[in-house]
Amino acid sequence: MEKIKMTTPLVEMDGDEMTRILWKIIKDDLLLPFIDLNTEYYDLGLEHRNATDDKVTFDSAYATKKYGVAVKCATITPNAARMTEYDLKEMWKSPNGTIRAILDGTVFRAPIVVKGIEPCVKNWEKPITIARHAYGDVYKASEMKIPGAGRAELVFTGADGTVQRELIHEFDSEGIIQGMHNINGSIASFARSCFNYALDTKQDLWFATKDTISKKYDHTFKDIFQEIFDAEYKDRFDKAGIEYFYTLIDDAVARVMKSKGGYIWACKNYDGDVMSDMISSAFGSLAMMTSVLVSPEGFYEYEAAHGTVQRHYYKHLKGEETSTNSVATIFAWTGALRKRGELDNLPDLTAFADKLEKATIQTIEAGKMTKDLALITKLENVTVLNSENFIKEIRKTLENML
Ligand code: NAP
Ligand code: MG
């Protein structure tokens, strides 16, 4: 069989620990035999980040801006223990944080749904994708403890010297206050990323805030989304047969629980933090969550939602067998290859990505899976496979399909 050709390089960001081991097996067994893989390789493994003073992370993000699509392996975010373990020159920042700051995007997380791994919420038939605004609000807030009686105010001094004041509270005893902000430009980027992703994936978009209580702050989020939707997206949504729908956050939560799934739920920063953990655990497993960063300019970076699975890696180093789930990492590759195929008009590449995803799901639905899934599946007669043999089983399923 002739290998599938690629025209534009895909930005490949290698990573750390167990996911780095899986990365190589996935490439060797599932990709290289079928595709003339054209990647620009960046080694974001911690050793190489340290050797390059983290320049490699910045370079990989700029390359994503140049070519448009990246696939990333999970990476270590250093802490004190990693400083000693890797003899680091500095406690390098989280690569995801660096990449996100350069691409200015929104992260979309979606569960991979397979028969036999049922969500806790029995009416959820399709995945629910969470889009979390990744800037501001309580994550960039200033806080103060109030020692006793006194007056707390919000004060804004304009560049021209004009002053706006708003009373927060006349305290007559101890208390607490908090000041937070957001930027209209960041909210607009968030809105466009969400509308673009909804069009891309042909799913409805839900957005919710508490605008009835927060008449200026949350209401601004609601207004910006609506203005951009009406001016730039309404016609395209109508044509695609999808809907944009705004409601109150409490109503949204109630509707999500009763829904069948199959839509994107855009969340403010805090709501997204909390709700994405609820959605991922209710769907079954972190190892079955995909994650893609979409920039407002239309750049894409695909990855798995989980980390480097350190505990499994230490077992692997001791020569013990591991059963680490590679599904989310495989789907990071298929997501990136499909997007490359769409952008470069390479139907064979897009079709291959679809088939590899199908083969992965079929393998699990046939009862062949890693230990984390075997523990939660409703299927009977399950075969628990080690990390490598699970990928080899997917290869067999894929070859039968091709
Ligand atoms: P983790 O790597 O996500 O793993 C936590 C636990 O979840 C594992 O010990 C394992 O449970 C289970 N798990 C996660 N993924 C799995 C998979 N694919 N297959 C089977 N089980 C899986 O999180 P962590 O241990 O907290 O973090 C390890 C490193 O990853 C840290 O250095 C952190 O900085 C980094 N990290 C990176 C990213 C990223 O690059 N996007 C995200 C998060 C964390 P059992 O041990 O019970 O089997
Ligand atoms: Mg959280």
Q: With helix as H, strand as E and coil as C, how does the chain read?
A: CCCECCCCCEEEEECCHHHHHHHHHHHHHHHCCCECCCEEEEECCHHHHHHCCCHHHHHHHHHHHHHCEEEECCCCCCCHHHHHHCCCCCCCCCHHHHHHHHHCCEEEEEECCCCCCCCCCCCCCCCEEEEECCCCHHHHCEEEEECCCEEEEEEEECCCCCEEEEEEEEECCCEEEEECCCCHHHHHHHHHHHHHHHHHHCCEEEEEECCCCCCCHHHHHHHHHHHHHHHHHHHHHHHHCCCEEEEEHHHHHHHHHHCCCCEEEEECHHHHHHHHHHHHHHHCCHHHEEEEEECCCCCEEEEECCCCCHHHHHHHHCCCCCCCCCHHHHHHHHHHHHHHHHHCCCHHHHHHHHHHHHHHHHHHHCCEECHHHHCCCCCCCCEECCHHHHHHHHHHHHHHHC
Q: Give the residue, by CA position, lying nearest to ligand 1 atom 10.
A: 309
329 lines ligand 1 (CB under 6 A): no
User: 93 is written with which tokens?
Assistant: 């920042």
**Residue 46 CA: which ligand is closest?**
1
**How far is the centre of ligand 2, averaged over its atoms, from the C-alpha of 81 (Å)?**
22
Give the C-alpha separation, 239 to 246, whole Å. 19
Nearest CA to ligand 1 atom 1: 307
Q: Which atom of ligand 1 is nearest to the CA of 309?
A: 2
User: Alpha-carbon distance 49 to 158, whole Å?
Assistant: 41
For 215-245, b/e burial (b = at least 16 CB within 10 A) is eebbebbbebbeebbeeebeeebeeeebebe
Tokens 């049922």 belong to: 118
CATH number of 118-138+180-283: 3.40.718.10
Pocket flag, ligand 1, residue 311 (CB < 6 Å): yes
Q: What pLDDT is recorded for position 27?
A: 98
**CA–CA gap between residue 331 and residue 353 (Å, rounded):** 9
Cβ neighbours of residue 141 closer than 8 Å, sequence gap 6 or more: 178, 179, 180, 181
- 118-138+180-283 shares the fold of 1-108+291-402: yes
Minimal-distance CA residue to ligand 1 atom 37: 307
Is there a contact between 326 and 26 (Cβ–Cβ < 8 Å)? yes
Q: 277-308 as b/e, with b when 16 or more CB fall inside 10 Å?
A: ebbbeebbbbbbbbbbbbbbeebbbbbbbbbb
Q: Are 206 and 247 in contact (CB under 8 A)?
A: yes
Q: How many CA atoms lie within 13 A of 366 on its CB side?
A: 13
Give the residue from 310, 311, 304 showing the smallest Cα distance to 326.
304
Q: What is the pLDDT of residue 350?
A: 97
Tokens 């799901």 belong to: 361
- Determine if ligand 1 sits within 6 Å of the CB of residue 19: no
Length of the chain: 402
For ligand 1, is residue 86 a contact (CB within 6 Å)?
no
Domain ranges, ordered by start, for the chain: 1-108+291-402, 118-138+180-283, 142-179
Closest to 207 measured CA to CA, from 259, 131, 291, 106: 131
- 287 in contact with ligand 1, CB cutoff 6 A: yes
Ligand 1 near 292 CB (within 6 A): no
Distance, in Å, from the CA atom of 321 to the CA atom of 307, rounded to the nearest integer, reads 19
CA of 307 to the centre of ligand 1 (A): 4
Minimum CA distance residue for ligand 1 atom 12: 309
> What CATH number belongs to 1-108+291-402?
3.40.718.10
**pLDDT-flagged residues of the chain (< 50):** none
User: For position 47, what pLDDT does the model report?
Assistant: 98
Cα of 245 to ligand 1 centre, how many Å? Answer: 34
pLDDT for 296 equals: 82
**Alpha-carbon gap, residue 15 to 313, rounded angstroms:** 13
* Ligand 1 touching residue 387 (CB < 6 A): no
CB distance 74 to ligand 1 below 6 Å: yes
The response to whether residue 325 sits with its C-beta less than 6 Å from ligand 1 reads yes
Q: Which ligand is nearest to the CA of 77?
A: 1
